[in-house]
A = this chain, B = another copy of it.
Amino acid sequence: MIRINENYTKLKASYLFADIARRVNTYVAAHPSKPVIRLGIGDVTEPLPPVCIEALHAATDEMSQRATFKGYGPEQGYAFLREAIAQHDYAARGCAIAADEIFVSDGSKCDCGNIQEIFSTDLRLAIPDPVYPVYVDTNVMAGRTGANVDGRYQGITYLESTPANGYVPSVPAGAADLIYLCFPNNPTGAVATRAQLAAWVAYAKQHKAVILFDSAYEAYIRDPEIPHSIYEIEGAHEVAIEFRSFSKTAGFTGTRCAYTVVPKALKAFDAAGAEHSVHALWNRRHTTKFNGVAYPIQKAAAAIYTAAGQQQTTALINFYLENAKLIRSAMTKLGFACIGGDNAPYIWINTGRDSWEFFDRLLNEAQVVCTPGAGFGKCGEGHVRISAFNSRENVETALARIAAALK
């Protein structure tokens, strides 16, 4: 008799975006004349940069001719893309990351979700709260947690991001083996300083732990003192894996390309204490269960690293950051304590009240959709996330409506 993976039954169903959709749909049905502006979901709205469009067309033409047609490529990604990444995202920032330490994939969601497979099931987890739900759910599925009790899974050390610590958690008192960190943070938009990241690297070294560092939003950092990569911290290549994505850098949410860096110096251990290369383990996993990203998509991603591509993506991100600045400024003026928006596309607003109640108020009185913080974890309660991904006109209209509603 076929049996299920019973860990799935522990998953607490996430109704967050379904709940939001239901409430928005109900409102729209009842008020067809009042257009709703969506600043909830973290999806980009502006078209792909022209260099990516050109690269997609050119690669498509290559696929139409026998002489230039591409079948299976290297599972880890084409050298032209891995080398561009190594050069522009790492060497240019003083990080010694080799092209063959970079694994190109179709999304950071996949990589963040799959990476835990190569580690033991009985390790001690540390995961932020509030948090991108994939980190937690994939570990529940793998059997690394107990039941969900009162909104939290047993067996996870939650790293609380609160007003008291400026939404950047310190290292925990006890030992953890696998630590998820995300800066600039989703959902809070908080960034970690060099000193804060250095403390995490030191902690990981002390405990022989591995840090999974999600820097999907690094392109939004404008403060020159804030590290873009954890590898800007000395010794991090011995303790950290880094996840990056083109989704928010170049509008690739519907185009799908990302990458993961697994340094060769990173080791993990077997029960007998012997060292194993994490790079070799991930390479085995990646080549066994993945067949590479579409050739035209990899060409589009590589185009981002040309001079024109850098200019176009910077302009795109500046556009969203200008939206973010408007949002943070308007919400601050209304008396709310805010974080994010300066080095991230998200603004995290301390509403001082129930996050669903605040969501309903914005929807009903300003026709604006945000994301209730409670959906990201216990520490998200009392907050909402507003996203900068929309047109300038929509953002300005939304802010005017919010000001009128909340004044």
Using CB atoms and an 8 Å cutoff, list the residues of chain A in contact with chain B: 1-6, 8-9, 11, 41, 43-48, 50, 52-53, 56-57, 60-61, 63-66, 69-73, 106-107, 109-110, 113-114, 117-123, 133-134, 137-138, 141, 177-178, 207-210, 251, 253-256, 268-271, 276, 278, 281, 284-285, 288-297, 391
Contact = CB atoms under 8 A, between A and B. Distances in A.
Contacts of A70: 254
A60 B56 contact: yes
Taken together, the copies of this chain in the complex come to: 2
Given A254-B71, A296-B296, A109 B2 contact: no
B2 A178 contact: yes
A11 B276 CA distance: 14
A60 B50 CA distance: 10
A70 to B, nearest CB: 4
Contacts of A288: 113, 133-134, 137-138, 141
8 contacts: A5-B121, A6-B270, A48-B64, A56-B63, A69-B254, A106-B106, A107-B291, A254-B292
A279 to B, nearest CB: 12
Contacts of A60: 53, 56-57, 60
Contacts of A65: 47
A69 B45 CA distance: 7
Nearest first, the 5 A-B pairs at minimum CB distance are: A113-B289, A3-B120, A70-B254, A43-B71, A1-B208
B291 A294 contact: no
Given A4-B269, A254-B73, A290 B48 contact: no
A178 B1 CA distance: 9
A291 B63 contact: no
A72 B121 CA distance: 31
Given A3-B270, A256-B293, 19 more contacts: A1-B208, A2-B178, A3-B120, A3-B122, A4-B278, A8-B118, A9-B276, A48-B64, A53-B63, A56-B296, A71-B253, A106-B291, A107-B290, A109-B290, A113-B290, A134-B288, A138-B288, A255-B296, A294-B297
Given A4-B119, A276-B4, A289-B109, A46 B64 contact: no
B270 A2 contact: no
A133 B73 CA distance: 18
B3 A177 contact: yes
Contacts of A137: 288
Contacts of A71: 43-45, 251, 253-254
Contacts of A121: 5
A237 to B, nearest CB: 15
A138 B291 CA distance: 14
Nearest to A42: B72
Given A63-B48, A69-B46, A254-B73, A114 B2 contact: no
A123 to B, nearest CB: 6
B295 A254 contact: yes
Nearest to A68: B47
B69 A43 contact: no
A291 B66 contact: no
B296 A123 contact: no
Contact of A8 (B3, B64, B253, B284): B284
Nearest to A258: B291
A3 B48 contact: no
Contacts of A276: 4, 9
A281 B5 contact: yes
Nearest to A296: B56
